Every structure is written in structure tokens, then in C-alpha cells.
Structure 1
Amino acid sequence: MARLNRRLLPIKAHFFFFMAAMGPILPQLSVIGKQIGVPPDVMGYITAVLPILYVLAKPLVGFLADYFTSLRKFIFMSLIVIMTLAYGGFYFLPSNSHAIELNENNPQWNVTLETPPKLCSQHIYFSDDFCGAAYQATCNQKDGNNSQVLIVASLNLSQNLQHNNASYHICLTKNVTNDWSNDSATCQLEHISSCVYGNSKFWLFVCLLFIGTIGFNVTNSISDACCFDLLGDDEQGKYGAQRVWGTIGFGTTALLAGIVVNLWTTDAVKSFTPALLIMCVFSILDLFSVSKLKLPKLGGSESIWTDVWQLVRQPPIIVFLVFACIAGIIDSFIIYFMFWHVEDVAAETGYMDQIKLIEGLVVAAECLAGEVPFFFYSGKIIKKLGYVHCMSMCFFFYAVRLSLIAWIPNPWYLVGVELFFQGITYALCYTCIVAYASAVAPPGTSATVQGLMAGMDDGLGFSIGSLIGGVMFKRLGGRESFKYFAIAAICTCVAHIVIRPTSRKRQYLPKSGYQVPIEQGEIKCPPPQELKEMGQVKS
């Protein structure tokens, strides 16, 4: 019978409560933006800027945690409080309602004109309901002429345009000499920029999203560093057995929130109030668990930045950071745009009344059935295969996963896809990155190195992925975007197989002298010449 290690109970509890608090919120961030009227390309810009701040914040807060070792617990708990208050602020975001229903994936309308459009009146622009009733559009006529117009619903205007048995008002944004004798045209609708960027609701959402998400990511990085510090050098392989409790918590509350939100509101636009309440309850429990953590007293580094700089100058570390960044690019696209894509599929196939339940089941499948076994056995898998082969395998299955997400004929298929592929992609890849960071970190720099590695993965990588993903999603739609990301993932797999082994020529990294990370499940001693060099450095 396995003995319960009471020393590790608080860190298990922290992972469970911390991720349980995030389960109802994190998968829905882009959906919350969508519900208040943020278009996909703008959401991509937001989530592209956001991770750049991770790159700065994670190593900086990690440095503070390493430097002020006596304040580590206070820093830890402060971050949790800030994160919870920021995400809780979503409650105060006013809901978005627009008189025109626009499919973001297919904003092109084939319209019929009853009368030629005239110049828009000032009454339209100064109306209080302007942003909730109008879209700008570029309309192309059969003779090749195109014009910039506004398409407006209601506002007591004459209806001179027909689309899908509905009537709207169309007017020109500037005088043109085009002949509108044709009674049909094709119009490409877009959000009005001033209505997006000039809206206080939009900037409140951006500020809350920035503060909350930075708080979450920095706390996550500090959590990993504290976990490895508690385990010590002899029990590093048990990290996954601790982190798996976070997955259980995340999946449980994501499913619970999906069911409750679905029951709470029967409209197509769902209220996230129950999800926010669940987050607050588990954040309070997390603060209690962190207060019980007994963090070990660590020997500090006399020159943290110098030690870390000596580490990242090593070619193998540079190569590893590049591929960690690519993993972040792929993850960010899935995290930020998978639910956007599945909601579009639901709208096309008539499943919008079940979408929150489906999304809850997707997250539960990802966490409880997908991530749990891989987090639990990740230490053994990495020990057996080594870091290189594990990363290559992850990229291959990312390609398969992305291809299947692009293919799904209706939202329910996504549950099965995520059930089988979340663990072998995200869970194993994430563990591989943080375990490698712990293996190479010089003494007294664990939080800083974890922050650096995570900054490249879900910092710079997330930034690039969000920016590219947002633009692709707007121009190509969800299905095509996921197909192109699948192609990129398989190319990365091949490149990783070819490049990473060649980076093992100098794997002797400073941690109590030089330590060799287990790249292929084997340990090699440094050559005599290098041992001699190390002796000269120490002296």
C-alpha cells in the first residue's frame, strides 16, 4: 500500500484549487471577448501583445522570488489575489447586443438593392445606438465598381437593402460617381473601428484580461518552481504526480461551470456569473492551501542574472528555447481559437443551444481523461525516452490533433478529439519543458529559470501564435487555419528530429558545476578537457 506523503499535500492542494479556480474562466476568455463584440483579428492582436508581458513579468517576478526568499509565500499569495480580482471584474462588463447578426467566419453578404444608396446622414453617426446597429462594408457590383458603405438596422431609417429575407438601410460613407443601376451586389461586412477601440467596455475588458492573465501565468510559473524546490533533486520525476491534481481540478470545475452556465441561461448569449462565483470560491480555498505550504530554505545564488546568462548562452539551451517557443505558438492558437471555431461550427450545424455544455465536456475530457494519465506518468515517459524524443513525439501528435479539429463535422466530435490528444500533446510537452528547466537551473535560480523557459513557451510563443492565428482566422476561417497549423506542426516535428540531436555536443550545464540533462535516457560524463576547464573556473 502506497504511503501518503504529508509534506507534499499542500502543494497538491494548491495545484488542485488554483487550477480549479481557472477551469471555468480560462477556456472562455476569447468567448467572453466575442460576446462583448471583439472581432477575431482584434482578439488576436490583444492576445499577441499580452504574452510579451509574460516574457518580462515571469523572469522578473521569478527573480524577486529567488532574491527575497523569505517573501516567496507573500508574493505567491498576492499574485493569486490580484488574478482573482481581475477576472472577477468580468462580472461588470456590460453585455453586447447588435441588431445585425454577423457570422465572423463568413461576413460576406449577397444583397439586393431596392433603391440606389445615398450619402449617409449625420443622424446615423450621432445616434446613441449607432455601434449596436451598423457595420461598415465594401460592396462590389457586377460591373466591377466598389463602394464603402454602412449597413444599418433600425434607427428609423428607410429600408433599401434585402438580405436573407431581412431588410436593412444601406448608405454611402462618401460621395462616389459609381452607377448603382444594378440591383444586386456582394458586400464584405466589417466592425467599425471607432466602435471597437472607442468603447470603454472594450478597454475595461483589455485591462482586466491583461492583469488577470499575467497574474495567472506568473503564479503558474512560481508554482512549478516551488514544486521542484519541495521535491528536491532526488524526486524531480514526481513533478507530474503533483501537477496532475491541477488537471483534475481544472477539468472538474470546467465541466461543472459548463453545466451550470447552460442551465443558468437558456439564451444563445450565456451569462458567466456562475463561472465567476466558482472561481472565487476555489481561489479562497487556494489561498488557505498556500498559507500551509512549508517551502524549504534554499541557498541563494550570489549573482542570479550572471548564472542564468551563462546558462542561456549554451547552444543546446538556445535550440531548446526556440522549440519551446514553437510549442507555445501552437498551444496559443488552440487555446485562444479552438472554442471560437467550435462555436462557429455549432452555429452552422444548429448546436448553439448546447454549446456551453459541449465546451464544458471538452475541457473535462482534456483534463480528466487526457492530461491526468500523462501528467502522472510523465516522469517515467521522459526517463524512458529522453527530452528530445518526447518533444518530437509531442509535435507529431500536435499535427494529428490540429488536423482533426479542422475536420470536425459538428461540435460533439471535438470531445473525442481532445479526449485522446490533449494529454500526449499539451501535458507531456509542458512537463518536458518545466522538467528540463529544473534539470539545468543553477542553484538558487529555479524561479528565474522557470520564468525564462515559460516566458518563451507561453510568453513569446503565445504572442506570435495569437497574432498569426487572429489574422489567419479572420481571413481563412477556422477550418483552413487549423489545417495550416497542422502542416506547420508536422514540419516542426521533422525539424526537431533533425536539429535537436546535433545540439547535444555541449550539454554540460552549470548546476553544482556542470550537469548533463538526460536527453536520451542516458548520462554521459564530460570529457577530461572540459573537466579541467571547470576546475580552472572554480579555482
Structure 2
Amino acid sequence: MATSEVELSSISGMIADPLAAPPPTSLPATETSPIHNGNSVNSSSSVETKTPEQTCGNWLPLECLRCELKLSKFKSFFFFFGGAIGCVFPYFSIYYKQLGFGPNQIGVIAGVRPLIGFCSGPLWGSLADRFRVRRIMLCCSALGWLIFITSIGFVPPPTQSDSQCVYVAEFLGKPYNGSTPPTGQGDDLRDYFFGLHNNKPGVDPEESLFESRGWVYDRASLMKVYVIIMVLVVLGELVQSPCGALADSGCIETLGAAEMNKYGHQRAWGSLGLGVFSMLVGGVISETRREVSVCGEPVVYSDYRIAFYFFAGCMFCCFVTTLFFRFQDDN
């Protein structure tokens, strides 16, 4: 009877306070437990600590500016790669126009580059993965950028000629007292000139004249320069197309799934480099503007070779950073 009363008392106590916490139990202290180490742990937050060898800028307020040593090569690559693009790509069309290329010719050069990259980029990438030579492929691609793009800036310009000056005067309705075009080129050269420069309603003739500067140069020399640059663009794009994709692959592989959120912080340096160098190069080029009289008309020239000097410097630094890239499973 006494036993039944004890059991009923226990049951009634549980019914009276069903939410009562069970009595604490003692757990053995292990080497990894906070009890053993004498430390208190807040379960709602965890603190990640890094040694000085892992980071050199935790005091910076922006995550993308933190300088983790293992990621510094990616920040440097993207900064100089973006800077190299900012040095020349915004000024390619203006540079081609100064060389005397027409709108159609400039459009062909600008359009053939992405088409070749669309075909050759995946091909080189698959070969690099198959034969485990991604680091070698990345270095060769960066070197291809350096060689072929820089070479475009050092192609000798076309030879200037006054053979089309008579048509310039006719187009503008001005008197002309100079020499006539060479024999046998009159009608053909005239059709070529007026085919490029047509009077458009509401467009000033002088403005229409400067849509293409082909009349400043000898026609044969201009075509020769155009072919040379087209060959450099095609060969360059064939070699350099996998550069960006391989660099992205190396960065993502190094970060891994645990730090994938830091990928954007590395790529942001490319945007920074592009903005800095495009403005810097544009400011320097604007200081080289000069005016030259051709066929009695003022023609403005700028030294765009400066852009290719800056590009070569940025791309050389970019090539150096590729030497420090490491890929898993590469030979």
C-alpha cells in the first residue's frame, strides 16, 4: 500500500507540471568540450579566426578589399586583366576610324571577334580539361593577348594620298586647284569615294565626309593595313579566347564550396581595373590631340599607340600572375 501511494504521488506531480525540465545530467568532459578547456561558448554565434598568414586586411570594412594571401593572385589577375581591356577596347573603333576604315569594315572587325571566341573558347577549354594542362593553357592564352593585341597598335598606318582631294572638293561644293587622280583610277576611285560618302537629308556634308577617313589615304595601302589587322584579330582571338574562363575556373576551384560567396569579391577587382585604366588612358590620349590639314580640311589626330603601351604593361602583369595559378589534377 505504501508503494502504491508513492507511485500515485509521482504520477500526480508529473500531471501537475508537465513542462517541468528533467533533472540535469552530468556529461564527461572531453578535450574538445568547453568545460575541459575552461571556455564559455555562445551557441547562437560562432567566431572564425584567421592567422596572419591567411589574411592581411581584416581591419578593412569592405569584404572585397580584404587581402587574403591565397586569393591575392586572383585579385591581381582580374584587376590587370580588366585594366588591359579598359586600356584599348573602348578606343578600338575610334582608332580604326583614324586609320581610315569605314563603318562596314569596323563592324566586321568588331563582329568577327566574339564569333571566333564563341567557337574556339569551348574547344580550348575542353582540351585543357582533357589533357590536364589548364595552367599551361592559361599562361599561353594570356601571352597571346599580350602579343596579338599589342601588335595591332604597331601596324604602320596607311600611306597618305591626295588622289581623292578632287572628290572631296566636289562633295563639299568647293573649288579645287590640285592635281587630278592618276590615269585609269578616275571613274573607279570616284565611285569608291561617293559610295562611302553619300549626302543624307539633314546631315551636313562635312559631317558625312568624316564618317570615313578613307579619302585621306591611298586605297591600296589602306586595304593592306585592313587585311593585316584582320589577321591579327582572328589569330589573337583563336589563342586568347579561353583566358577569362580558365581564370574563373581556377578561382572557383580554389575557393571551393565553403567560400564560394567570395567569388564576386575577386571579380569586382576586374571592374575596378577597367574603370581606372579606361579613364586614365582616355585622359592621356586626349592630351595628344592635334589638327592636320588634309585636302584643305582640318583632320584631328590622336596618338592611340599610348593605349597599347598601357595595355602591354597591364597584360604583362596579368601574365605574371598566371604563373602562380594552381589547378587540381593538372599534370
Normalised by the size of structure 2, how large is the TM-score? 0.60
Instruction: Report how far residue 216 of structure 1 moved.
Output: 4.3
* Alpha-carbon contact 2:146-2:316 (below 8 Å) kept: no
User: Structure 2 residue aligned with 1:229, among 253, 257, 261?
Assistant: 253
Is 1:6 aligned to residue 69 of structure 2? yes
Q: Match of 1:493?
A: none
RMSD: 3.9
Instruction: Report how far residue 139 of structure 1 moved.
Output: 11
Is 1:85 aligned to residue 147 of structure 2? yes
Call closer, same or farther: CA 1:22–1:196 in 2, change over 3 Å.
farther
Once the two structures are superposed, residues 448-476 of structure 1 have per-residue CA deviations (whole angstroms, 9 ceiling, x without a partner) of xxxxxxxxxxxxxxxxxxxxxxxxxxxxx
Amino acid at match of 2:262: K
Call closer, same or farther: CA 1:270–1:234 in 2, change over 3 Å.
same
Query: Does 1 or 2 have the higher relative contact order (CA < 8 Å, sep 6+)?
Result: 2
Which runs of 5 or more structure 1 residues have no equivalent in the other structure?
102-107, 115-119, 141-162, 165-188, 301-539
Q: Match of 2:36?
A: none
Deviates more, 1:226-235 or 1:59-68: 226-235
Is 1:135 aligned to residue 193 of structure 2? yes
User: Structure 2 residue aligned with 1:209, among 233, 236, 244?
Assistant: 233
User: Structure 1 residue aligned with 2:96, among 33, 57, 64?
Assistant: 33
Instruction: Report how far residue 218 of structure 1 moved.
Output: 2.4
Once the two structures are superposed, residues 158-194 of structure 1 have per-residue CA deviations (whole angstroms, 9 ceiling, x without a partner) of xxxxx87xxxxxxxxxxxxxxxxxxxxxxxx9969x9
Which runs of 5 or more structure 2 residues have no equivalent in the other structure?
1-57, 60-65, 199-204, 207-211, 292-299
Instruction: Report how far residue 51 of structure 1 moved.
Output: 2.2
Structure 1 Cα separation of the partners of residues 258 and 220 of structure 2: 53
Call closer, same or farther: CA 1:131–1:65 in 2, change over 3 Å.
farther
Structure 1 Cα separation of the partners of residues 250 and 197 of structure 2: 58
Taking the TM superposition and a 5 Å limit, the aligned residue runs for 1:166-315 are: 195=219, 199-267=223-291, 268-297=300-329
Structure 2 Cα separation of the partners of residues 289 and 218 of structure 1: 16
Call closer, same or farther: CA 1:139–1:208 in 2, change over 3 Å.
closer
Structure 2 Cα separation of the partners of residues 269 and 81 of structure 1: 30
Amino acid at match of 2:154: F
Instruction: Report how far residue 20 of structure 1 moved.
Output: 1.8
Structure 2 Cα separation of the partners of residues 138 and 257 of structure 1: 31
Call closer, same or farther: CA 1:207–1:59 in 2, change over 3 Å.
same
3-state SS in 1 of match to 2:245: helix
Q: Match of 1:22?
A: 85
* Alpha-carbon contact 2:101-2:213 (below 8 Å) kept: no
Taking the TM superposition and a 5 Å limit, the aligned residue runs for 1:408-487 are: none
Q: Match of 1:55?
A: 118
Is 1:72 aligned to residue 134 of structure 2? yes
Structure 2 Cα separation of the partners of residues 279 and 138 of structure 1: 32
Structure 1 Cα separation of the partners of residues 311 and 78 of structure 2: 14
Call closer, same or farther: CA 1:263–1:139 in 2, change over 3 Å.
closer
Call closer, same or farther: CA 1:56–1:283 in 2, change over 3 Å.
same
Amino acid at match of 1:224: D
Q: Percent identity?
A: 21
Taking the TM superposition and a 5 Å limit, the aligned residue runs for 1:498-509 are: none
Call closer, same or farther: CA 1:24–1:213 in 2, change over 3 Å.
farther
Amino acid at match of 2:251: C
Instruction: Report how far residue 206 of structure 1 moved.
Output: 0.9
Kindly tell me the number of residue pairs found equivalent between the two proteins.
Answer: 237
Normalised by the size of structure 1, how large is the TM-score? 0.38
Taking the TM superposition and a 5 Å limit, the aligned residue runs for 1:350-361 are: none
